[in-house]
Amino acid sequence: MLSSHAPVAYRDDRQALSLQVAELERENERLRGELEELRGEARKQRDEDRENRRRTGAEASCVLCGGSLLPVALFAGRDLRAPIPIALSTLRFGDPHGGFTRSAPVRARVCSSCGYVHCFIDIQVGDEGGEGGDVLP
């Protein structure tokens, strides 16, 4: 009686294993599809992040060596307790009266690697009579 029952159990176990293998293969294919989708999304996000870093990197990295830029103060005068901020007069060529109308502050950043000082004029866009810098046309 044991001999006739053993092949049936073997067939059932083998059939159950083959069903499990088939289900695992389907699950594997589904997971591979999800993995490819996630890799595509990650690649897209990485490209967007790289583009954002490239755009903001103009202010954050040195043009000579690519090092980090740190803000520094530029000032005039000998009294360290009362420094005179450096400002550049901005000549408005479109002004019918001519001459110097306002001044814009000079800002600076220094490279932490090579020491190069990056200076720029901080011209703010505002209303015609507004405070805070020259009005850009």
Can you read off the two tokens belonging to residue 38?
A: 């996630």
Given a contact cutoff of 8 angstroms between Cβ atoms, the answer to whether 87 and 75 are in contact is no
Number of domains making up the chain? 2
Same domain, 89 and 100: yes
**63 has a pLDDT exceeding 70:** yes
35-44 CB contacts, 8 Å cutoff, 24+ apart: none
Q: Which amino acid type is present at position 79?
A: D
Q: What are phi and psi of 74, to 5 degrees?
A: -110, 130
pTM, full prediction: 0.41
Structural domain of residue 82, as residue ranges? 62-137
Can you read off the two tokens belonging to residue 76?
A: 């005039």
Same domain, 88 and 102: yes
Residue 121 has a pLDDT of 75
In the DSSP assignment, the letter for residue 113 is T
Residue, of 102 and 39, whose pLDDT is higher: 39
